Amino acid sequence: MPISKHFTSILTKDWEINFLQCYPNGFLKYTELCNLFQLTAATHSEVGGISFSDMQEFNQAWVLSKMRVEIVRLPRWKEIVTVKTWIKSLENSRSTRCLEMYIGDDKIVGCETFWAVFNTETRRPEGLALPHEHFEKFPDDDATEKSYSKINIKDEFEVVAERKVLLSDLDIVNHANSVKYLEWCLDCVDFKILLKQELLAFEMNYLKEVSLNETVTIGKNESIFTINKEGKVCFALELELKD
């Protein structure tokens, strides 16, 4: 679709937190936080003419590769949050996008994401086929204190769970949605840590896609979790907790 007349290089969008998105304590789930970031990024790409629908003309889609989230506090049920997003860099098949969440003037969450252009037929990365020069890039504007990084997955991991990928796990790109990996791992965390908001930051690396009916195992080594398929790591999550 054409670039919207309302397009701007920095987008802000308000969301009201509903009860379906919350833990029993009334605070937003970490998975739903990531969903809001993902939806806001999608909105920005749509008004800017580089959405999933636009890219599908070339059999392309954006897929998440790395993500770092730093949290001051989570929003509560019925609170209105404002999510702000901008592109830090975009060249060839790679893009870094920043996002921030506010309540009023107070920043409560920062997020930096790394995306790749993915051919939905060959299932391989490739250069973006659409023009993006109308997006101003902001290479010096950070949303997090630390940038995303490569998680150490060289150590031994204890298998703590096994999952079969179901239809409800899939998204429009026909693989397990990025937030599902986080959900599977957090289901293996002591729930008191999540309900007491002891999670200060978390980082995710997406290495291989997971598809319908495939069986994966979840591994744990202290604060690092992995999702594995046929002996290979598909995803890594590192949690940063309060002392």
Q: Is the confidence at residue 1, as pLDDT, over 70?
A: no
Is the same domain home to 139 and 154?
Answer: no
Q: What is the pLDDT of residue 138?
A: 98
Is the same domain home to 20 and 80?
Answer: yes
Vertex 179 angle, CA 178 and 183, to 5°? 130
Q: What is the pLDDT of residue 155?
A: 84
Is the same domain home to 156 and 122?
Answer: no
pTM: 0.95
Is the same domain home to 138 and 154?
Answer: no
CB 114, CB 96: distance < 8 Å: yes
Is the same domain home to 140 and 230?
Answer: no
Q: What is the distance between the alpha carbons of residues 103 and 8, in angstroms, rounded to a whole number?
A: 21
**Above pLDDT 90, what percent of the chain?**
92
Is the same domain home to 131 and 160?
Answer: no
Is the same domain home to 176 and 116?
Answer: no
Q: Is the confidence at residue 7, as pLDDT, over 90?
A: yes
Is the same domain home to 81 and 201?
Answer: no
Report the mean per-residue pLDDT for the chain.
Answer: 96
Domain count, the chain: 2
From 99, 7, 98, select the one nearest 54 (Cα to Cα).
7
Is the same domain home to 57 and 166?
Answer: no
Helix H or strand E encompassing 67? strand 60-71
Domain boundary among 144, 171, 187: 144
Is the same domain home to 9 and 116?
Answer: yes
Is the same domain home to 156 and 200?
Answer: yes
Q: What is the pLDDT of residue 216?
A: 98
CATH of the domain at 159: 3.10.129.10
pLDDT, average across residues 205-222: 97
- How confident is residue 243, by pLDDT bands cut at 50, 70 and 90? confident
Q: What is the distance between the alpha carbons of residues 192 and 22, in angstroms, rounded to a whole number?
A: 15
Tell me the residue range of the domain where 237 lies: 150-243
CB 50, CB 130: distance < 8 Å: yes
Domain boundary among 144, 173, 202: 144
10 Å CB burial of residue 110 (0-12, 13-18, 19+) is buried
Q: What is the pLDDT of residue 2?
A: 78
pLDDT, average across residues 131-157: 95
Helix H or strand E encompassing 12? strand 10-16
Q: Is the confidence at residue 70, as pLDDT, over 90?
A: yes
* Model confidence pLDDT, tens digit, residues 75-126: 999 999 999 999 999 998 999 999 999 999 999 999 999 999 989 999 998 9
Q: What is the pLDDT of residue 205?
A: 98
Q: Is the confidence at residue 234, as pLDDT, over 70?
A: yes
Q: What is the pLDDT of residue 20?
A: 97
Is the same domain home to 188 and 203?
Answer: yes
pLDDT, average across residues 236-242: 97
pLDDT, average across residues 16-20: 98
pLDDT, average across residues 156-179: 95
Domain boundary among 129, 144, 159: 144
